[in-house]
Structure 1
């Protein structure tokens, strides 16, 4: 019998092709990449992988294609310990083409593929396991109508809804008001607020503006600057850890998975942000997607305790 799932991730599964190169080509130019790295990706699959690698019982709900890329994605999640019983197969697997630059920054192009073939019926068939989880993680790489449907169907459930509004989309006030934790980066925060985010100070202002639209918490990630967190009661800043950035692919997903892990373990909001920031800094110091995400044993190897803290 499968143990009760702590986290349900509903979202995208992409097979990623990462091209490491000195710069992006100019218009009309053919530029040579230095290396190719390929493997599992997609915001949904990445967040599920990080949750599972930290020991959380995690289910993935989504769709892959009827091809070798889909098989590889399912196999990767299974290897991390993710329950893939609700990952369907249809059409062509979603793909991510990522250009990784020397400073670790990246430019990404997505092929939606099977990610846009998930239906309301798929959600209905997995609703029991979704509603029974402590946390539901959502992103914006599946149809917006499905996101709204999930929010509607779980509104009365005793679970926390986490929405990573990436890529940024317009969200109805009704749907946004049901979100417990909203996670956005600078670009996504600017899209949602019509305000520039170019400093820690402006991030605080925007986070406090956005938190009025959700149930409780807004997390605004600032890359190398760190993270700003706002709730109805407080707002604080956590600086980023100083590391040599190699590849930022999946760093935001790694942060979210680690943050949810910390909340389930009983950490304070501040401590959860600190640890999630550390986890994402480990991720950016390595090359690749979910295979670069740290495990719980690695964190313990850094002499970090995962004992729940006093709230």
Structure 2
């Protein structure tokens, strides 16, 4: 079983031919509202792959909050641990242009954690094989969850995004850290090849279509990705993390788990929307067959 503790947002997505310059107004091509948030995305990715998945998080007392909970339920994600808080739900404004995206996140209810509220979730974390965490909820709550999971032997995947300085204790508590190349350099002040050597079998750096990189304690391991035409990269990293958690929960070795996650992420970018493109298990296994 996989549990995700983190953000639940509504994504407000604008598609345009190019990103506007400073002070410039452009006519866009499309606007959509899509359920998102790194936490919810990762939960949906894991559930799509056939894993029992639960979400811990907050939504606001607004129309978005109702819709976000309904969506998680429809995606077979357990919502027993999703609380409705006063105020607005979290939102993310996303501009999609030229096959890439830029994002601004407004935390809303995701930051409405009360003192030691996290203790209410000890039972579900103890029952879980893997706990996924990100940084779109308060850092002290993330560290509390990681510490709780560490004490009961639950594997912790920390996706350190949006990138920010991490306390050394949190890095120690995480079994796996999964930044992309940019986040890795912000976190550790060095290139990915050097950083992974400092954290063997822990730091896994995603590199888009090139795949992912880690160090096995002896040598650098570069797990190849899949060259595809990207339609929308929103949610690719979240798909990677949900798939990595799925593979680890199922007992795959790290090399095979990262390859499985690469395949899932490559499928996700071929569709619009963070969650809409997240693949089912059969599609991932079919893509992995391309390596044979």
For residues 63-94 of structure 1, what are the alpha-carbon distances to aligned partners after superposition, in whole Å with 9 as ceiling and x for unaligned? 00111111111111111111101101112000
Give the Å deviation of 1:193: 1.4
**Correspondent of 1:208 among 179, 193, 197:** 197
CA–CA distance in 1 between the matches of 2:120 and 2:172?
25
For residues 210-258 of structure 1, what are the alpha-carbon distances to aligned partners after superposition, in whole Å with 9 as ceiling and x for unaligned? x16xxx4111011132210224455300222010000000000001111
- Matching residue of 1:3: none
CA–CA distance in 1 between the matches of 2:63 and 2:244?
32
Alignment of 1:92 with 2:88, yes or no, is yes
For residues 133-192 of structure 1, what are the alpha-carbon distances to aligned partners after superposition, in whole Å with 9 as ceiling and x for unaligned? 111100000011111222233331111011000011111112211110010011111012
Aligned residue pair count: 289
- Matching residue of 2:204: 219
SS at match of 1:22: coil
- Matching residue of 2:251: 266
TM-align CA RMSD: 1.8
**Correspondent of 1:241 among 205, 213, 226:** 226
Work out whether residues 228 and 238 of structure 1, in 8 Å CA contact, stay in contact via their aligned partners in 2.
Answer: yes
- Matching residue of 1:18: 13
- Matching residue of 1:279: 264
Task: Tell me the TM-score normalized by structure 2.
Answer: 0.94
Task: Tell me the TM-score normalized by structure 1.
Answer: 0.88
Work out whether residues 11 and 142 of structure 1, in 8 Å CA contact, stay in contact via their aligned partners in 2.
Answer: yes
Work out whether residues 44 and 138 of structure 1, in 8 Å CA contact, stay in contact via their aligned partners in 2.
Answer: yes
CA–CA distance in 1 between the matches of 2:105 and 2:266?
24
- Give the direction of change, closer, same or farther, for the CA distance of 1:186–1:240 in structure 2 (3 Å limit): same
- Matching residue of 1:38: 33
Structure 2 unpaired stretches of 5+: none
Work out whether residues 211 and 225 of structure 2, in 8 Å CA contact, stay in contact via their aligned partners in 1.
Answer: yes
Work out whether residues 131 and 149 of structure 2, in 8 Å CA contact, stay in contact via their aligned partners in 1.
Answer: no
Give the Å deviation of 1:7: 0.9
Alignment of 1:110 with 2:105, yes or no, is yes
